[in-house]
């Protein structure tokens, strides 16, 4: 890892090497390690150290970016020259804004020494324990245990400087039996908040409970979606809240802002400062991130904007822009769904006939304006009958409109930091939803 | 210099107690250009240079990577890899075994005519802006996008058995997209394919051959026309796929399930497993008699994204028959999984995205071999069908049985003729039922080696380019329309 002084020194060198009208430097440092296990043994165990220096120059209303992971003077001079060459080679952009000057940022604390200094042996011992548990249960475990540190800084020749460092720990496990499986995953900046054994136990219980799956008929069902399933579905909305997405007329909120298109019980913020969130308190230009109310009681209220998009759409920048130049604009990266008070158990008890879904998989847009998504259930899909989990069922394919789904939410649980595989981590609640469309069933 | 770096890593790994070690030094250069609505969108170059060291120590695997390419930095990286391997041994059930491979000293480079990094950026942007402009001329188009991507990968592989292999891969890709919003519907058309167009191991001549500007008006007009087209039908019908969609169908329903690491459970937590359990090899009727599929990384198959001289554990490129006259005959293997299923040799499919990623089993060029039909004859021979072109959406379960695809556009085939345009087409099915329903495959003249540049697999996630040769083909009794069915 680099100290702030070292990052300032690299930025200073770049500024010295550049004679562009304006120059911006991004520095990214990653030290990551991941232990991967399957068949109750470690089969991959990796570590990486990466340092990237990325330079954006502006010349007469033109901008471009060049990036290197070589930090000797010659390479830094070359990356500046490459950025300038790229910048010069394009038409002038009349919409390009001057770089922002110094900013003030809210504080976030997401660095934990215990996580930064976790060792391969720490991870291996935890894996050995869950593998032992799986073997004792005559089950097979597969998963990952990873820890790491990321560090980033952005500086420009107008005097802006911002830096952020945070740790990351993640444990994910699938427990397999001949005809069933169960899954659990958690992710946090703080390793001590992860409990691999508890996650393994949960996955193990799901696998055992879904043995000998029966085939339920496709159709419209009441579903109880655990937080990971909710995350991977609603996560597909994130770019629809970008000002650029609406401006480009490819957002599902195009012509729907201010209209009540979701249920009264749906409220959504983007909030990098939420205690269960992660990430830096500034965006790709160094603009401070703001907490934004995106949906208020079913009504989409606000979008997020980079500086350029805000000017184009006559709005105020919200601190959600991506690094320039890009054609995506911005996006909310710290979604926080408002939750409720119902536990998953209470949702099950209140359901005469329904489906309990642990996670969903391979989700893709089918209809981008109605926001119909397709995908599969996976690793723990259960029939709920007369208020009880009645047993495992074969996995379904769904084709479900997410706007429709969020109009049909009957119960909400407390919001948690959820992890899935299709969306980045967000704070979402479990949900009970009526009329969820399962279109077909697979063979397992 | 690359050779020195690799050798320093091998020396340290050996001194630290590794029983096997290999090192990949990779120097990767990227150029990305895009336009949107007549303006430059992305304009960026990057370079990444580093080393990845893979070792076996105490019978277990370890891998570490660094971009600190000093003698000390590389030694520390190799020592870290050995330390990680020793930690892996705390949770091992058996020692790693691998099939033998010869030691090779060789160099390899894919052929190309024009180095895309030597083509002036102004010229590349001019071409994209011209295509963008042609699309935006068409009334009703609400979003125009175009892109080019170039990648040069120079790598040096060395292993403790004495291999020393230098390879250079030059990759190019380009494409355009017109999007239309009207009423309550978003439609789009891409050329020559979705996912950023066509991608191959080739130089700038690939981009020039695509004629993006020439195709731009048609692409835009079709995107507009889709709004007034009839909804594609639902029900059980005959389906004809264009070669690009068939390429993705191969990728998802053949390429992934034949990966031995999936079959053996190594991807169970993330990408999933496979219905192709070991007892099915040589016994399963994967497809109809006319279906022949190979995994071919050799240059003679074509200069695809899955083409190379040697894989990333030093095994020469080869052709493995995957489906032979409909029978399932082969998996994608590496040196370790080959032992598990009793093969004498690796299939040579270990590939890594970059120096900081561990090589894993990946598709090479997974291609269906051409059939005998002329395209026009196949259409004329079809009484009632839907012809689907250019992927829009794709999804398949984690054992690769059940899939659903939709495409950007479809055409009704009636009485042997291509008739009206159809919108929102989709089809779904079970993998082996689908491939067994294939009754016509078009000939070599209609066959294209498509590049899929965005295949994600592994943890940490790696994105890899794969190749898929295909010609249009016909399938009987396929379920259509489930994605858009109103229930």
- Contacts within 8 Å (CB) and 24+ apart, A200-203: A200/A130, A200/A133, A200/A134, A200/A141, A200/A173, A200/A175, A201/A133, A203/A141, A203/A173, A203/A174, A203/A175, A203/A379, A203/A380
* A250/B181 touch (CB, cutoff 8 Å), yes or no: yes
Whether the CB-CB separation of A431 and A225 falls below 8 Å is answered with yes
Q: Are residues B453 and B333 in the same domain?
A: yes
* 3-state DSSP helix/strand/coil % of chain A, to nearest 5: 25, 40, 35
Q: Are residues B243 and B197 in the same domain?
A: no
Residue A1 pLDDT class (50, 70, 90 cuts): confident
| CB-CB neighbors (< 8 A) of B68 in chain A | 49
Q: What pLDDT does residue B158 have? A: 98
Which residues constitute the domain of residue B89? 2-228
Interface residue of A33, A90, A140, A215 to substitute, partner B, most B CBs within 10 Å: A90
What CA–CA distance (Å, rounded) separates B222 from A219?
34
pLDDT digits (tens, 9 = 90+) for A335-379: 999 999 999 999 999 999 999 999 999 999 999 999 999 999 999
Q: Are residues B16 and B67 in the same domain?
A: yes
pTM of the predicted protein model: 0.97
Distance from the Cα of B184 to chain A's closest Cα (Å) equals 7
- The CATH classification number of A4-197 equals 3.30.2290.10
CB-nearest partner of B482 from A120, A364, A399: A399
DSSP H or E stretch at residue B215: helix B212-225
Q: Are residues B316 and B453 in the same domain?
A: yes
CB-nearest partner of A437 from B356, B399, B487: B487
Q: What pLDDT does residue B315 have? A: 98
Q: Are residues B291 and B143 in the same domain?
A: no
Q: Are residues B133 and B66 in the same domain?
A: yes
Partners of residue A170 on adjacent β-strands: A146, A187
Residue of chain A whose Cα is closest to the Cα of B27: A69
| CB-CB neighbors (< 8 A) of B126 in chain A | none
Residue A378: which of A236, A203, A238, A220 has the closest Cα? A203
Q: Are residues B215 and B235 in the same domain?
A: no
* A120/B44 touch (CB, cutoff 8 Å), yes or no: no
Q: Are residues B202 and B240 in the same domain?
A: no
HEC per residue, B452-471: EEEEEECCCCEEEEEEEEEC
Of B171, B194, B228, at which residue does a domain stop?
B228
Whether the CB-CB separation of B99 and B260 falls below 8 Å is answered with no
Flag residues of chain B having pLDDT under 70: 487
Give the CA count within 13 Å in the CB-facing half-sphere of B373: 20
> Rg of chain A over CA atoms, in angstroms?
24
Of B193, B228, B263, at which residue does a domain stop?
B228
Q: What pLDDT does residue B487 have? A: 61
Q: Which residue is associated with the tokens 């703080």? A: A190
Arithmetic mean of pLDDT, A227-238 = 97
Q: Are residues B397 and B303 in the same domain?
A: yes
How many folded domains does chain B comprise?
Answer: 2
Q: What pLDDT does residue B64 have? A: 98
What CA–CA distance (Å, rounded) separates A210 from B246?
35
Of B228, B258, B278, at which residue does a domain stop?
B228
Q: Are residues B452 and B474 in the same domain?
A: yes
Q: What is the ipTM of this complex?
A: 0.96
Arithmetic mean of pLDDT, A233-251 = 97
pLDDT digits (tens, 9 = 90+) for A43-74: 999 999 999 999 999 999 999 999 999 999 99
Arithmetic mean of pLDDT, A105-111 = 96
- Residue B120, domain CATH: 3.30.2290.10
Interface residue of A376, A394, A405, A438 to substitute, partner B, most B CBs within 10 Å: A376
CB-nearest partner of B265 from A39, A86, A366: A39
Tokens of A85: 């060459």
Q: Are residues B165 and B38 in the same domain?
A: yes
Longest dimension (CA), chain B: 73
Q: Are residues B29 and B125 in the same domain?
A: yes
CB-nearest partner of B125 from A33, A54, A90: A90
pLDDT digits (tens, 9 = 90+) for B31-74: 999 999 999 999 999 999 999 999 999 999 999 999 999 999 99
The full set of domain ranges for chain A reads 4-197, 213-444
* B47/A70 touch (CB, cutoff 8 Å), yes or no: yes
Angle B175-B31-B450 from CA coordinates, rounded to 5°: 40
Range list of H helices, B55-120: 71-88
Give the rounded distance of the alpha carbon of B51 from its chain centre. 24
Which residues in B120-143 are b (16+ Cβ under 10 Å) and which e? Answer: ebeebbebbbebbebbbebebbbb
């Amino acid at each position: 890892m680099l100290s702030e002084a070292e990052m300032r020194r690299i930025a200073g060198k770049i500024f010295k090497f550049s004679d562009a009208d304006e120059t911006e430097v991004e520095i990214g440092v990653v030290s990551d390690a991941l232990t991967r296990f399957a068949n109750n043994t470690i089969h991959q165990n990796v570590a990486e150290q990466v340092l990237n220096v990325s330079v954006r120059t502006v010349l007469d209303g033109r901008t471009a970016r060049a990036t290197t992971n070589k930090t000797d003077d010659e390479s830094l001079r070359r990356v500046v020259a490459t950025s300038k060459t790229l910048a010069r080679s394009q038409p002038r952009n009349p919409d390009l804004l001057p770089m922002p000057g110094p900013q003030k940022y809210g504080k976030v604390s997401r660095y934990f020494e215990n996580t930064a200094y976790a060792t391969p042996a720490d991870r291996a011992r935890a894996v050995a324990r869950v593998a032992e548990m799986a073997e004792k249960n005559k089950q097979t475990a597969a998963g990952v245990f990873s820890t790491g540190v990321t560090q980033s800084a952005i500086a420009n020749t107008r005097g802006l400087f911002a830096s952020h460092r945070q740790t990351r720990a993640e444990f994910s496990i699938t427990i397999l039996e001949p005809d069933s499986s169960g899954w659990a995953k958690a992710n946090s900046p703080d390793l001590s908040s992860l409990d691999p054994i508890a996650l393994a136990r949960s996955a193990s219980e799901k696998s055992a409970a879904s043995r000998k799956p029966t085939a339920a008929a496709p159709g419209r069902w009441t579903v109880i979606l655990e937080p990971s399933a909710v995350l991977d579905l609603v996560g597909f909305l994130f770019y629809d809240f970008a000002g650029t997405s609406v401006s480009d007329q490819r957002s599902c909120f195009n012509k729907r802002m201010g209209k009540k298109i979701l249920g009264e019980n749906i409220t959504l913020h983007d909030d990098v400062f939420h205690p269960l969130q992660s990430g830096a308190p500034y965006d790709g230009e160094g603009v401070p991130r703001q907490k934004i109310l995106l949906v208020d009681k079913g009504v989409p209220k606000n979008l997020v904007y980079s500086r350029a998009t805000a000017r184009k759409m006559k709005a105020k920048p919200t601190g959600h822009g991506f690094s320039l130049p890009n054609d995506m604009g911005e996006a909310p990266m710290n979604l926080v769904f408002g939750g409720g008070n119902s536990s998953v158990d209470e949702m099950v008890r209140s359901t005469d006939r329904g489906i309990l879904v642990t996670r969903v998989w391979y989700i893709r847009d089918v209809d981008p304006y109605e926001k119909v998504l397709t995908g599969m259930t996976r690793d723990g899909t259960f029939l709920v009958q007369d208020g009880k989990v009645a047993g495992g069922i074969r996995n379904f394919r769904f084709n479900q409109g997410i706007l429709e789904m969020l109009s049909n939410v009957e119960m909400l649980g407390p919001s948690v930091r959820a992890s899935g595989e299709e969306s980045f981590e967000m704070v979402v609640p479990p949900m009970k939803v009526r009329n969820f469309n399962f279109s077909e069933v697979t063979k397992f | 210099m690359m050779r020195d770096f690799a050798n320093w890593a091998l020396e340290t790994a050996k001194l630290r107690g590794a029983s096997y070690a290999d090192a990949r030094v990779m120097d990767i250069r990227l150029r990305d250009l895009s336009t949107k609505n007549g303006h430059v969108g992305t304009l960026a170059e990057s370079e990444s240079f580093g080393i990845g060291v893979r070792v076996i120590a105490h019978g277990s695997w370890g891998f570490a990577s660094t971009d600190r390419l000093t003698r000390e930095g590389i030694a520390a990286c190799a020592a870290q890899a050995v330390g990680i391997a020793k930690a892996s041994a705390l949770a091992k059930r058996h020692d790693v075994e691998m099939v033998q491979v010869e030691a090779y000293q060789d160099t390899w480079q894919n052929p190309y005519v024009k180095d895309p990094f030597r083509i002036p950026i102004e010229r590349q942007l001019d071409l994209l802006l011209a295509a963008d402009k042609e699309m935006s001329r068409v009334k009703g188009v609400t979003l125009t996008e175009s892109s080019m991507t170039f990648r040069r990968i120079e790598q040096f592989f060395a292993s403790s058995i004495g291999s020393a292999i230098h390879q250079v891969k030059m990759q190019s890709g380009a494409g355009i997209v017109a999007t239309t919003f009207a009423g309550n519907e978003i439609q789009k058309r891409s050329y020559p394919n979705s996912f950023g167009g066509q991608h191959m191991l080739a130089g700038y001549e690939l981009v020039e051959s695509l004629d993006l500007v020439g195709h731009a008006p048609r692409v835009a007009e079709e995107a507009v026309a889709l709004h007034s087209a009839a909804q594609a039908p639902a029900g059980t019908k005959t389906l004809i796929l264009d070669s690009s969609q068939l390429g993705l169908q191969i990728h998802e329903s053949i390429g992934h399930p034949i990966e031995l690491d999936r079959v053996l459970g190594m991807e169970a937590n993330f990408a999933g497993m496979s219905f192709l359990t070991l007892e099915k090899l040589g016994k399963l009727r994967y497809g109809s008699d006319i279906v022949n599929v190979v995994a071919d990384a050799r240059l003679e198959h074509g200069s695809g994204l899955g083409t190379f001289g040697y894989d990333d554990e030093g095994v020469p490129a080869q052709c493995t028959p995957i489906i032979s006259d409909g029978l399932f005959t082969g998996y994608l293997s590496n040196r370790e999984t080959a032992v598990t299923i009793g093969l004498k040799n690796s299939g040579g499919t270990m590939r890594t995205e970059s120096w900081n990623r561990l090589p894993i089993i990946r598709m090479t060029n997974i291609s269906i071999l051409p059939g005998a039909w002329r395209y026009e004859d196949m259409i004329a021979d079809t009484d009632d069908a839907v012809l689907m072109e250019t992927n829009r959406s794709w999804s398949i379960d984690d054992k690769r049985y059940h899939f659903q695809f939709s495409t950007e556009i479809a055409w009704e085939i009636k009485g042997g003729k291509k008739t009206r345009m159809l919108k929102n087409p989709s089809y779904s099915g079970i993998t082996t039922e689908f491939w067994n329903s294939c009754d016509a495959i078009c000939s070599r003249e209609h066959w294209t080696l498509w590049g899929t540049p965005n295949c994600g697999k592994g943890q940490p996630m790696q994105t890899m380019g794969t190749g898929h040769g295909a010609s249009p083909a016909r399938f009987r009794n396929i379920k259509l329309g489930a994605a858009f069915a109103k229930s």
